[in-house]
Amino acid sequence: MASSAQSHAGHHHCATQRRPDTRLRVGTNGRIPRWKRGSTVTYIVRTESFPNPDMAAYTTGKLVEAVSMWEDKGVKFQLVYRTCKATFQVVYQPADNHPDVYAEAFFPNNDSPTKRTLIVYGLALKAGNRRYLANIFAHELGHIMGLRHEFAARSDSEETGSVLWGKENDSSIMNYPDMLSKLRVQKQDLDELESFYESTEKKHEELAIRELKPPTFRYRRNRRTSCYGARPS
């Protein structure tokens, strides 16, 4: 997650919107980016970045679980083999890199492949937090689909440039609850995400809606193998 709002145990949830750079809120940098409706957004897990294979397998399984929470609304996420081209990569970084952040993602873009990276920090895999890893990932997937933090437009927030889509929702997965156990995809989140992706508007509250075809990139070249049908270990 990418923001400076504090969460359970005094830690920050997410770093995606920490940079000046979703109720649901959408919009960043003067526009509203989203993937083309019905697109498949593929991803690989850089297992070699994790401290051990078990941690990589656990993380992969929790990300697959998080994907299921969004019920393929708007777009479909597809895990592919490590050697295949993908829209984004999942990378582990130790807790000391960002001791107060669980994870960090990105908004839809066709920029440099490194700007499409989902980072899970060591804090998210510590005892007491790792049981909620799927919930944390569900929040990050919201960003990857174009959603911003629920509090992004508050006057006391450092985050700017978002607009409201649908109705206010303090229980949104894109908010920061006081405990990670409360971080859940709500029915309103699903309904409004679906509405966002089904809309044929070219603009919303003066911000242009920009649709992107998910790009793919081979994050690491290796021997050829079938790319689809990857499963967590």
pLDDT band at 163 (very low <50, low <70, confident <90, very high): low
Residue listed under structure tokens 């994050």: 219
- Domains of the chain: residue spans and CATH: 8-212 (3.40.390.10)
Q: How far is CA 192 from CA 25, 35, 115, 209, 218, in A?
A: 10, 15, 26, 16, 33
pLDDT number for residue 160: 47
Backbone angles phi, psi at 225, to 5 degrees: -150, 165
pTM (2 d.p.):
0.82
pLDDT for residue 206 is more than 80: no
pLDDT number for residue 117: 97
Backbone angles phi, psi at 121, to 5 degrees: -90, 160
Q: How far apart are the first and last CA of the chain?
A: 25
Residue listed under structure tokens 């969460």: 7
87/98: higher pLDDT: 87
Is 66 exposed, middle or buried, given 0-12, 13-18 or 19+ CB atoms closer than 10 A? buried
Whole-number Å distance between alpha carbons of 214 and 157: 30
Whole-number Å distance between alpha carbons of 121 and 123: 5
Helix H segments across 26-128? Answer: 53-69
